[in-house]
Amino acid sequence: MLFKQSNDGRMTILIVYVDNIILIGDDTGEVERLKKVLATEFEVKDLGQMRYFQGMEVARSRKAISISQRKYVLDLLTETGMLGCKPSDTPIKARKKTESNGKPVDRERYQQLVGRLIYLSHTRPDIAFAISVVSQYMHSPKESHLEVIYKILKYLKGSPGRGIFFKKSDSKKVEIYTDADWARSADDRRSTTGYCTYVWGNLVTWRSKKQSVVARNSAETEFRAVAQGMCEGLWLQKLLEELNITIELPIKLYCDNKAAISISHNHIQHDKTKHIEVDRHFIKEKIEKGIICMTYIPTREQLADIFTKGLQKSSFEDFICKLDMINIYDPT
């Protein structure tokens, strides 16, 4: 839960999670005043500058902030007996397709493991796609699905301290990368949407999710992904406005499908696009108002590709680097 207070141009933000609180402000005096107010109403323990919060480890300097969950990963590996396993280079095999057939496994245990991994994905976009795959079988997990979970754990063994990195920047841009993998699911042939957003050159949100309907072609799949990524970008715009932060418009949205871009700019309605008419009008409206600008990007530079499918080691590591994921615990 987030609360914002503005007083004479000074802003203080209060983030509450159960009985834990984060205080953020641009004025030290205002932050101290709010601490005293809270102390009069509740029993409060001031832990100083944030270094650890709900399993997330925060390291900061004057130029950057790194957030990881190293202890959380090591605890998870210990609990599952995987601390001594051989590390894997990727969290899921390239182009791996899972099915709902096979020998059943303990559902409660499976759900617990997936839940732990979902929480870990808050700082690990590199495992987002793999987790979206295993999350689809929560109610009827099979041995093949459990194998994917152990593959993720083996990958985490090789990089427990990897996390997201936020650096200072003079840029005021918000950028969106959207992608989709057509007919990915072998069970129902639904496609997978992937997108990520950058604020001032820093990765802030990402998602990998199976689409809710079956698409008849790849252009339709990509178009739905564009609409979802655009909604995320508009939400970020509103959030930043609430924080009195002005961004540069238009927001750039990068797509590697020329057909989807053409549909977005086409003023003529065709029968072939009638079933995605609502998304088309939504996207077209934002483009015409100058809020969003759609830009073509080659597939090899499409950062959202990592959220739609399993990749080979070389491609996967290349995207990890482009996502600015680092391991501050690695020896230099």
Task: Give the span between the Cα atoms of 49 and 269, in whole angstroms.
Answer: 56
> 68: which 2 tokens?
């990881």
Average pLDDT, the chain: 91
Given this model, what pLDDT does residue 186 score? 74
Full-model pTM: 0.92
User: How many Å separate Cα 90 from the centre of its chain?
Assistant: 17
User: How many Å separate Cα 28 from the centre of its chain?
Assistant: 31
Contact call for residues 151 and 82 (beta carbons, < 8 A): no
Task: Give the span between the Cα atoms of 303 and 325, in whole angstroms.
Answer: 13
Going across the sheet that includes 251-255, the strands are: 202-210, 192-199, 174-181, 251-255, 292-296
Given this model, what pLDDT does residue 202 score? 96
Given this model, what pLDDT does residue 332 score? 59
Given this model, what pLDDT does residue 274 score? 53
The residue ranges of the chain whose pLDDT is under 50 are: none
Distances (CA, A) of 256 to 134, 218, 231: 27, 11, 18
Task: Give the span between the Cα atoms of 211 and 234, in whole angstroms.
Answer: 20
- In this structure, which topology does domain 170-322 adopt according to CATH? Nucleotidyltransferase; domain 5 (3.30.420)
Positions of CATH 3.30.420.10 in the chain: 170-322
Cβ neighbours for 213, distance < 8 A, ≥ 6 positions apart: 190, 224
What residue has token string 């997978």?
192
Contact call for residues 195 and 206 (beta carbons, < 8 A): yes
Q: How many CA atoms lie within 13 A of 2 on its CB side?
A: 8
- Which among 1, 112, 21, 28 has a CA at the least distance from the CA of 12? 28
Contact call for residues 91 and 151 (beta carbons, < 8 A): yes
DSSP one-letter string for 285-305:
HHHHTTSEEEEE--GGG-GGG
Please give the single-letter amino acid code of residue 72.
Y
Given this model, what pLDDT does residue 328 score? 85
What does R_g of the chain's alpha carbons equal in angstroms?
A: 22
Count other C-beta atoms under 10 Å from residue 230's C-beta: 24
Task: Give the span between the Cα atoms of 260 and 279, in whole angstroms.
Answer: 11
DSSP one-letter string for 15-27:
EEETTEEEEEES-
Given this model, what pLDDT does residue 73 score? 98
Contact call for residues 149 and 132 (beta carbons, < 8 A): no
Angle between helices 107-120 and 70-79 (to 10 degrees): 160
Task: Give the span between the Cα atoms of 207 and 193, in whole angstroms.
Answer: 8
